[in-house]
Amino acid sequence: MAALTVEEELVLAKQAAKPLAIASTAQKNRVLAALADEIEGNISAITKANGIDVARGRENGLSDGLIDRLTLTEERLLGLAAAVREVIALADPVGQVLRGSTLPNGLKLAQVRVPFGVIGAIYEARPNVTVDIAALAIKSGNAVVLRGGSAAEASNAVLVSLVQRALASAGLPTEAVQTIDMHGREGAKQLMRARGFVDVLIPRGSSELIQTVIAESQVPVIETGAGVVHLFIDAGADPQMAVEIAVNSKAQRPSVCNALDTLLLHEAELGQLAGLVAALRAAGVTVFGCERVVAADPSLQQASAETWATEHMSLNLGLKIVDSFDAALAHIDEFSTGHTEAIVTQDVARAERFLNEVDAASVIVNAATRFTDGGEFGFGAEIGISTQKLHARGPMALPEMTSTKWLVRGAGQTRS
Return the DSSP state at 299. T
Give the separation between CA 253 and CA 250, rounded to whole angstroms.
7
Question: Identity (one letter) of the amino acid at 226?
Answer: A
Q: Give the Cβ contact number of residue 93 at 10 Å.
A: 19
Q: How does residue 2 score in pLDDT terms, banded at 50, 70 and 90?
A: low
pLDDT at 256: 87
pLDDT tens column, 262-280: 999 999 999 999 999 999 9
158-164: long-range contacts, CB 8 A cutoff, minimum separation 24? 158/42, 158/45, 158/46, 158/49, 159/39, 159/46, 159/127, 159/130, 159/131, 159/134, 160/130, 160/134, 162/35, 162/38, 162/39, 162/42, 162/46, 163/35, 163/38, 163/130, 163/131, 163/134, 163/138
CB crowding 35-48: b at 16 or more within 10 Å, else e: bbbbbeebeeebbe
Give the separation between CA 61 and CA 143, rounded to whole angstroms.
34
349-355 average pLDDT score: 97
Of the given ranges (93-102, 204-213, 337-346), which has the lowest mean pLDDT? 204-213
Give the separation between CA 289 and CA 3, rounded to whole angstroms.
53
Furthest-apart CA atoms within the chain: distance in Å: 82
**pLDDT above 90 coverage of the chain, percent:** 86
pLDDT tens column, 354-366: 999 999 999 999 9
pLDDT tens column, 189-210: 999 999 999 999 999 877 788 8
DSSP 247-283: HHHHHSSTTSTTS--EEEEEGGGGGGHHHHHHHHHHT
- Residue 382, pLDDT > 90, answer no
252-256 average pLDDT score: 90
Full set of structural domains in the chain with CATH: 6-224+383-409 (3.40.605.10), 230-371 (3.40.309.10)
**pLDDT above 70 coverage of the chain, percent:** 99
Q: How does residue 229 score in pLDDT terms, banded at 50, 70 and 90?
A: very high
